[in-house]
Amino acid sequence: MAAAESDREVPSALCTEFLNFSAKDTALKWLQVTDLYKEVYQHLARYVPKIYCLGPNLNPQSEDLLAQLLLQAPLEWYLCGEDPSTGLAKLEQNNQPSQLCGHVFRVGEPTYSCRECAADPTCVLCMQCFLGSVHKEHRYRMTTSGGGGFCDCGDTEAWKKGPYCQKHEPNISDSCQEDPLAHLSTDMIARCYNVFAIVLKYAVDMLTWDKEDELPPGLEPPDRGDTYYCMLFNDEVHTYEQVIYTLQKAVNCTQKEAVSFATTVDRDGRKSVRFGDFAFCEQAKSVIVRNTSRQSKPLRVQVMHSSVVAHQCFALKALHWLGHVIGYSDALRRILCQVGLERGPEGENSSLVDTLMLCDSKMWKGARNVYHQLFMSSLLMDLKYKKLFAIQFAKNYERLQSDYVKDDHDREFSVTDLSVQMFTVPSLARMLITEENLMTTIIRTFVDHLRHRDLQGRFQFERYTAQQAFKFRRVQSLIGDLKYVLISRPTEWSDQLREKFLEGLDTFLELFKCMQGMDPVVRQVGQHIEMEPEWEAAFTLQMKLTHIISMMQEWCATDERVLIEAYKKCLTALTHCHSGFTDGEQPITLSMCGHSVDTIRYCVSQEKVSIHLPVSRLLAGLHVLLSKMEVAYRFPEQLPLSELSPPMLIEHPLRCLVLCAQVHAGMWRRNGFSLVNQIYYYHNVKCRVEMFDKDLIMLQAGASMMDPNHFLMIVLSRFELYHIFSSADCRKSYNRENTNKDVVQQNNTLMEEMLHLIMMVVGERFEAGVGQVEGCDEIKREIIHQLCIRPMAHSELVKALPENENKETGMERVIDCVASFKKPGVTGRGLYELRPECAKQFNLYFHHYSRADQSKAEEAQRKLKRQNGEDMALPPPMLPPFSPLFASLVNILQCDVLLGMLGAVLQWAVEPSGGHWSESMLQRVLHLIGMGLLEEQQQLKNSSEDHDVSFNFTLKISRPGEAPSNTASVLALLENLQNAPHLEVHKDMIRWILKMVASIKTMRELTASTYTVTASGSHGQEEMVCDKDKAERKRKAEMARLRREKIMAQMSEMQRHFINENKELFQQSLEELYASTSTSLEHSPTSSDAALVCVGPRRSRPREKRQVVTCILCQEEQEIRADSKAMVLAAFVQRSTVMSKNRKRPPHDPEHYDPLFMHPDLSFGTHTGSCGHIMHSHCWQRYFEAVQAKEQRRQQRLRVHTSYDVGNGEFLCPLCECLSNTVIPLLPGTKGSNSCEQPGLGQWLKISGQQIKAMHSAHRKLQPVGVDAVEETVEEQCPATENFRIDYTPMSPYSSTIKEMLTTFGTATYKVGLKVHPNEQDPRVPIMCWGSCAYTIQSIERLLVDEDKPLFGSLPCRQDDCLSSLARFGSACWTAASQPSVQGHYIRLVAALIPDPQVETSPCILDIDMLHLLVSVVLSYGSVHSQDSSGLSVDAVQLHFFHLITVAHMVQMLLTSGPEEVTMEQESGGAEREEEEDICALYNTLRTHLGSSLPEVASGWHLWRCVKTGILPYLRGAALFFHHLNGVPTPPELHALCPGQWEVLCGYLSLPSNLLQLYHSQKELLEPLLYGWCSHPGVRQTLQEGGVLVSFPRESNSLIDLPDDYSALINQASSFTCPKSGGDKSRAPTLCLVCGSMLCSQSYCCQTELDGEDVGACTAHTFACGAGVGIFLRVRESQVLFLSGKTKGCFYAPPYLDDYGETDQGLRRGNPLHLCRQRYRKIQKLWRQHSVTEEIGHAQEANQTLVGIDWQHL
Ligand SMILES: [Zn+2]
Ligand SMILES: [Zn+2]
Ligand SMILES: [Zn+2]
Ligand SMILES: [Zn+2]
Ligand SMILES: [Zn+2]
Ligand SMILES: [Zn+2]
Ligand SMILES: [Zn+2]
């Protein structure tokens, strides 16, 4: 195995040779020789194999160093003709850099494109340039680079405006046209030329070398060793896992090494996996090939001679060197370009650059990357040579593309990817089209690669194999190239450009002919199709071409001659397509209402029909352009209008639309989903512009050239409805004879669809050219109709609108005139709402509505009308007039055939029993009538006085049918229908129509009588009608309001019910309500007289009331009593580092850690939370067992995971589904003991000392090995133990179930808090419980401060309950543990305060968190008190401890208070004089003990300030603790944030408000303690070393600061490299929001082992940084990641929003993102509240797919 060999040592002989080497001498020698080429090659042949590839590892650092000395230095000497360090500097000085920035993008680096000024979206700026550009103030788009590509700053063709940033702004004095070579001496130029020619030739020779065992002539090494490499190459076929597995087998390496090999192969494209003699390497090769050849083609492996590899390594180095050298001077760069493009001996396309390009697909990834980069920094940066390179690129285009299609590497590693750098430059693109016929080349190459054709020569994708599909995907990149070429439209045309463009169009039409009619379908009858035909390929092609087609049309639109020629060519192509079609179809004659027309017999439902008609659609697009550019009116003689056959034009688009209608009608059900999908895409926003929209236009174009009656008859015939309407008595007989319900239903739907189609043909006029509209009218109308459905977010609107090739919808220009923006709150997103005045433009039959959209919009609009108290009619909107070319379309509305159909439907509606019809049908008919009326009204208004309006719809609909049938007129039928009871919903619409008819009649009469026609007259009348209407509506609105109120009352009743059923939803809000109400009740009666005190003998009586709770499982009530059944709270215990002040502290060893004292840095704690839901312990146990059993069954059946881990004791609260992992028993409060005389501090200290001594001796007795001597003295010294019965074993006051629960919770806290296996016997169990109580109190105290909430009364009651149970549990948990061990803890705790010679390892007071000490000592005291019978009250002891610890805390602070802040010096007004003097006195006492370790302090003011602010959190924590432990009511002043809190707090805690009195009043007693604390060696050591001193108050931890602009983060992440794989870019850089570390997530390279399992970087970090809980930001995805443990995780909305109030998860939209502080605070709050795990639980419950993700690999 390769890695096993030790690092090589350079042989000493070589060393001396290297030492004697002189680069200067070598260069001088080179200057003399005649054949420099031979000389340099000899040099390389001699040295390269001695430097490179002497050992198993390629590219160690030493190689680079030697290469620099022996190889590059002489080259540089030769090049400069002097010491390169001065020579290159001179070059750089004389250089006049070009204005191009050319910064090459790293993977993941942010790029910016201006949406207003960029020539196309591929024009981008780097961050530096962007920030210094004008575009910063424009609308821009931000994306992350995929690597490659460079900054376009300074390229005048790339930007319409502001092409330069501040840095690249050219000097006016610069003459940029100057030849950069002018500054160089001819000698220099010649030398430079020589060197570049040789080095580049060498590099090309080596990189394109394909022999494994020999070298090119001139490079054979003098002495050839027998060393080989087994080289593994990258392919995109095999997965990481396959490669890793194979390598482990083949070269017998560890998994880690295999991972490293695989990573390198993936990154560099190759990696040697074995080094040794030939046979050794050959063996590995055969194993690899054998192992990977089974499923696919084997991995590529070569056994290569080490000298070949050595030269290849140096060749790469040489290319790097070239790139580096040309960076000094534009002149050198130009010389290199010249060398590269110089034609070689083989003639055309034989330059070195050509050679490289043509071998591209044979090279490995690393080599390709290096030379591509050199191309970018040389050829593409020099404007002259960029052009020459582009020409060579175009000449080789076909070959390069073919190589690429066969290659299996991604396009980013192919030289073809450089096309974007040239084709998007408009001048180059134009040049390549005219001179290299690029457009034709691209299209032809594309067509050549699609070989599957049917008999007619059309593409056939139906039976595509996977391999063909793969190839097809690669070919698609050609369409991208075509798009680049076309993306900027020419401003002026040369004849040559016209010629070549039209030639390109010809090729394009050839492509289209292969698509016209492809993938045809035939209706399946009887049986369902057996196999869904492949349809996606054809649609992919269509979708990819969509923008190309649009751009072709836009090109045509810029030149009349081109347009005319293109139109002719397209028409010829269409005629050609049709020639094969209509043959054999029988001609028939249709006649109706006195009109007749000839057509063919064709049924969509029986014959082949295709949805792909690109030729027809292109012609439709060009036809509209004829109208839009007025070519049709100005040069009619040049157009082949006479050749047009309207029936031919409409035939295929009509078939396609009929197909859609029939699919809607359910006639094609047996054709499966593939057809449904095709129809879907046909209408979809991605395709419709060049599919559905154009078919409609073609219908409009054809119909405008036909007699409307003829048009409608053909439509009827294709819809297969002709027979229904053509019969003379169709009004009566429809369907009477037809009893097949399905057929009736089908026909009804078809009729609806057909009526809709007629509406669209007449009504869709918003395409410029069809109607007389402005460019932005169309988009406005789209937006209005989207917003008529509902208010929408920006991204939703963008998705609903078609994008152009620049990814723009044009929405921004118009959105503000049609919509108003509403900002989002902390959740949700910003929404656009339709402006009310735009609602009248609503068209229910908008052609882009899907059926679902239509019904949603109808509902929304009717609701709106109801709210406004308007009538319910939704009449058609006013329409813009048609362009002249399409003007005749309006006549469809008043033609006989249509009126006949309208009359028939109305007649059916009058007699609904007489036949089948549908309300939708009637609704459409009414809409059409409305359109006719509006058209007439419009024309009347716009007509000039002498012009008679020929459009007379009112007349036509008033005319009854002719004899003999004498059918009723449409108008008569409508009047008849007005009162039909079964048409209630349509009444408003009918009324609207009748009103319109009346108003038009009046208008006509007015026009007829006087010429002074005034629109106001008719308006006046309308208004009168309106007024009457308004009054009526007002009355109705009032009634509606009353009805609403009644409903509201009913609703609130229902809501109450709902709340009961959905408790968890309302829990939070209700709790907040309760929290305020219940506490106000609780303090009002007691607070009136005596001040409240929560600790000590004077403590107030607890609210003595029976506490009765209800079990959520069995609903029974239960009183909380020590001797009753246990009630428990669902609880979640977790380890926490949220409050840690020291994240560097290494995690402790769980087995041996002693948790008795918490360090003040709070680096690890145990937090307990609860949802507050109470159960019987036995109910909970039963529930948990059921969950366990269910889980076991589930895991056996299907290996799905749940959001909770039952094996770990986790379950979901049965009521609120909150994640829990244990339960806390509820215990009754302790009763206050009202004993009389209590000992003072001195006496108590004595008693306590005696008790401790007694315990010491008793415990020693328990120990098997005692030291007799000590035992005796102890017995002697403690006579006063008669009140302390050390041998008395107290009875536990608790019932058996409570005892059991005490063990349960204690064990759970122990297990989770220490991360150990449960062991209820472990003496650390009670310690962990006390610690958790203290930590939880501290965490809640911090939360209250952070949120500016008062100490009491603002907590939700679930937290109050949780704290009470925790405190009471803590005081009771000793009963479930061994008494001696708890007493042992007590003794050690006390010893930290009162030095005890018998306890050896007490920590110094600087290393103790005082609240933890207070809580632990108070809670552990119970075990001692149980043996005391002296009448000493617990209260007194609590108070003494509290006072002592308070003093200790003050001392702790004085020792750590920093040096005085001079600026803050301030004399207080005497109010706190006393405190200041006292504190100075205390401080000076400390100084006497510690001497110079403490700095001198002049004033007490600063000290007192420090102590007072520092001690507050401790006091507040103590107040919370004693309140919950003792159940004392809280003073009302602490329920608000009013001044005077300090005094109230001190009072409540039974403290003097001058805390120093605690010390001064007991000076003599405390002095020895003080001395004891200070003399602890730890104190002096810490102070002198200045070790980690935590300063008080401890600030709350925050999540890290995030930059306002998201791109700053992207930039930061893009320069982040994977810490494990040497400078490689990380694929998923992820930021820890807790500590700010950047991690390389979701990648093999950074996996580490955690508890015997491989985990990703995030999970590993989570355990170090967050004790198992992590909050991350995935920078590339713009997504927050929550992790908990190894198995839980979820994604969370990031705190970054765009200007539209939306997040961009996945960074797909590219709108600039800015930090939303509100949302970030919300995430921070989740973290501080310890709710992250809970949040994950809820997310996973809501979305099961989250459960399946392997979170540990992130
Ligand atoms: Zn730049
Ligand atoms: Zn710039
Ligand atoms: Zn701009
Ligand atoms: Zn119960
Ligand atoms: Zn719950
Ligand atoms: Zn990594
Ligand atoms: Zn971290």
925: nearest Cα among 941, 940, 910: 910
pLDDT at 1463 over 50: no
Whole-number Å distance between alpha carbons of 1308 and 1130: 12
Whole-number Å distance between alpha carbons of 1528 and 1550: 13
> Across 161-256, where does the E strand assignment appear?
228-233
Report the Cα–Cα distance between both ends of the chain, in Å, rounded.
31
Note the pLDDT of residue 860: 94
Whole-number Å distance between alpha carbons of 801 and 803: 6
Note the pLDDT of residue 1714: 93
Mean predicted confidence (pLDDT) in 1097-1123? 81
Whole-number Å distance between alpha carbons of 1392 and 876: 88
Mean predicted confidence (pLDDT) in 1377-1382? 86
**From the CA of 151, which ligand is nearest?**
1
Task: Quote the Cα angle for 183-187-191, to 5°.
Answer: 105
pLDDT at 268 over 60: yes
The per-residue pLDDT for range 217-238, each reduced to its tens digit, is: 888 887 778 889 999 998 877 8
Q: Which residues surround ligand 4, an ion (CB under 5 A)?
A: 1111, 1113-1114, 1176, 1179
Mean predicted confidence (pLDDT) in 122-145? 90
Ligand 6 center to 58 CA (angstroms): 20
Ligand 6 center to 1673 CA (angstroms): 16
Ligand 5 center to 1221 CA (angstroms): 12
Ligand 5 center to 1333 CA (angstroms): 20
pLDDT interval class at 8 (50, 70, 90): very low
Q: Which residues surround ligand 1, an ion (CB under 5 A)?
A: 101, 103, 126, 129, 151, 153
Ligand 3 center to 807 CA (angstroms): 16
Note the pLDDT of residue 1067: 45
Pairing of strands 819-822, 1165-1176: unpaired
Q: Which residues surround ligand 3, an ion (CB under 5 A)?
A: 114, 116-117, 135, 138
Site of tokens 């209260």: 1435
- Note the Cα 894 to chain centre separation in Å: 55
Ligand 2 center to 325 CA (angstroms): 22
CA gyration radius for the chain?
44
Whole-number Å distance between alpha carbons of 1677 and 1662: 19
Ligand 7 center to 1664 CA (angstroms): 8
Mean predicted confidence (pLDDT) in 862-869? 90
Q: Which amino acid is at 1539?
A: P
622: nearest Cα among 573, 685, 678, 684: 573
Site of tokens 């078809």: 750
Note the pLDDT of residue 1422: 85
- Note the Cα 789 to chain centre separation in Å: 27
Q: Residue 250: which residues within 8 A CB-CB, separation 6 or more?
A: 273, 284, 287, 288, 291
pLDDT interval class at 129 (50, 70, 90): very high
Mean predicted confidence (pLDDT) in 247-261? 85
pLDDT interval class at 1087 (50, 70, 90): very low
Mean predicted confidence (pLDDT) in 843-858? 94
Most confident of 550-559, 1308-1317, 1346-1355: 550-559
Ligand 6 center to 1610 CA (angstroms): 17
Whole-number Å distance between alpha carbons of 1113 and 1178: 10
Ligand 2 center to 101 CA (angstroms): 5
Note the pLDDT of residue 186: 87
Ligand 2 center to 70 CA (angstroms): 37
Ligand 2 center to 128 CA (angstroms): 7
471 or 1524: which carries more pLDDT confidence? 1524
Q: Which amino acid is at 1445?
A: I
Note the pLDDT of residue 662: 95
Whole-number Å distance between alpha carbons of 344 and 350: 5
Whole-number Å distance between alpha carbons of 248 and 74: 43
pLDDT at 1089 over 60: no
Ligand 4 center to 1209 CA (angstroms): 20
Q: How many other C-beta atoms are found inside a 10 Å radius of the C-beta of residue 151?
A: 27
Percent of the chain with pLDDT over 90: 37
Phi/psi at 952 (nearest 5 deg)? -125, 75
Note the pLDDT of residue 997: 93
Ligand 5 center to 1054 CA (angstroms): 24
pLDDT interval class at 1073 (50, 70, 90): very low
Ranking 411-420, 578-587, 852-861, 1203-1212 by mean pLDDT, the lowest is 578-587
Note the pLDDT of residue 5: 37
- For 1338, 1341, 1513, the CA distances from 1344, given in Å and listed in that order, are 10, 5, 11
Note the pLDDT of residue 882: 93
Whole-number Å distance between alpha carbons of 259 and 240: 8
Ligand 1 center to 480 CA (angstroms): 25
Question: Are 765 and 677 contacting, i.e. CB atoms less than 8 angstroms apart?
Answer: no
Ranking 248-257, 451-460, 1249-1258 by mean pLDDT, the lowest is 451-460
Ranking 248-257, 451-460, 687-696 by mean pLDDT, the lowest is 451-460
Ligand 7 center to 678 CA (angstroms): 50
Ligand 4 center to 1180 CA (angstroms): 7
Pairing of strands 1629-1632, 1222-1225: unpaired
1169: nearest Cα among 1132, 1122, 1217, 1218: 1132
Cβ-in-10-Å burial (0-12, 13-18, 19+) of 530 comes to exposed
Mean predicted confidence (pLDDT) in 868-883? 91
pLDDT interval class at 1466 (50, 70, 90): low
Cβ-in-10-Å burial (0-12, 13-18, 19+) of 469 comes to middle
- For 17, 51, 56, 306, 595, the CA distances from 8, given in Å and listed in that order, are 18, 12, 9, 15, 99
pLDDT at 1469 over 60: no
**From the CA of 1597, which ligand is nearest?**
7
Structure token digits, residue 1679: 């997504």
Note the pLDDT of residue 1079: 36
Whole-number Å distance between alpha carbons of 878 and 838: 12
pLDDT at 1014 over 80: no
Cβ-in-10-Å burial (0-12, 13-18, 19+) of 401 comes to buried
Q: Which residues surround ligand 2, an ion (CB under 5 A)?
A: 101, 129, 153, 165, 167-168
**From the CA of 1632, which ligand is nearest?**
7
Question: Are 623 and 615 contacting, i.e. CB atoms less than 8 angstroms apart?
Answer: no
Mean predicted confidence (pLDDT) in 1601-1610? 92
Mean predicted confidence (pLDDT) in 378-398? 92
pLDDT at 1529 over 50: yes
Ligand 7 center to 1633 CA (angstroms): 7
Note the pLDDT of residue 978: 85
Ligand 4 center to 1177 CA (angstroms): 7
pLDDT at 1062 over 50: no
Looking at the whole model, is its pTM more than 0.85?
Answer: no
Ligand 6 center to 1618 CA (angstroms): 4
Structure token digits, residue 1732: 């992250």
**From the CA of 1214, which ligand is nearest?**
5
pLDDT at 914 over 60: no
Helices (H) and strands (E) in the chain, counts: 64, 25
β-pair partners for 1650: 1653
Note the pLDDT of residue 264: 85
Structure token digits, residue 92: 């750089």
**From the CA of 1216, which ligand is nearest?**
5
Cβ-in-10-Å burial (0-12, 13-18, 19+) of 1035 comes to exposed
Note the pLDDT of residue 1259: 77
**From the CA of 1127, which ligand is nearest?**
4
Ligand 3 center to 279 CA (angstroms): 63
**From the CA of 132, which ligand is nearest?**
2
Note the pLDDT of residue 1674: 93
The DSSP 8-state label assigned to residue 1376 in this structure reads G
Ligand 3 center to 803 CA (angstroms): 19
Ligand 4 center to 1178 CA (angstroms): 7
Site of tokens 């494209």: 269
User: With b meaning 16 or more CB within 10 Å and e meaning fewer, what string describes 1330-1350?
Assistant: bbbbbbbbbbbbbbbbbeeeb
Note the pLDDT of residue 1037: 60
Percent of the chain with pLDDT over 70: 88
Note the pLDDT of residue 1234: 57
Ranking 613-627, 1025-1039, 1543-1557 by mean pLDDT, the lowest is 1025-1039
Whole-number Å distance between alpha carbons of 1231 and 1243: 24
**From the CA of 165, which ligand is nearest?**
2
What element of type H or E holds 1486? helix 1473-1490
Helix, strand, or coil here: 834?
strand
486: nearest Cα among 476, 501, 471, 472: 501
Task: Quote the Cα angle for 184-190-196, to 5°.
Answer: 105
The per-residue pLDDT for range 1575-1597, each reduced to its tens digit, is: 888 888 887 776 657 788 888 89
Whole-number Å distance between alpha carbons of 1710 and 113: 10
Q: Which amino acid is at 795?
A: S
pLDDT at 842 over 60: yes
| Sheet with strand 1165-1176: strands edge to edge | 1165-1176, 1127-1136, 1222-1225
Helix, strand, or coil here: 1225?
strand
Q: Residue 1710: which residues within 8 A CB-CB, separation 6 or more?
A: 141, 142, 143, 1704
The per-residue pLDDT for range 54-84, each reduced to its tens digit, is: 777 655 667 778 888 888 899 999 988 888 8
Structure token digits, residue 410: 């991604």
Q: Residue 763: which residues within 8 A CB-CB, separation 6 or more?
A: 843, 845, 876, 879, 931
pLDDT at 1265 over 50: no
Average pLDDT, the chain: 84
Whole-number Å distance between alpha carbons of 1186 and 1191: 8
Whole-number Å distance between alpha carbons of 1487 and 1493: 8
Ligand 2 center to 196 CA (angstroms): 29
Site of tokens 């449960």: 1318
pLDDT at 1620 over 60: yes
Ligand 5 center to 1183 CA (angstroms): 14
Whole-number Å distance between alpha carbons of 302 and 282: 8
pLDDT at 2 over 60: no
Structure token digits, residue 173: 């004095």
pLDDT at 467 over 60: yes
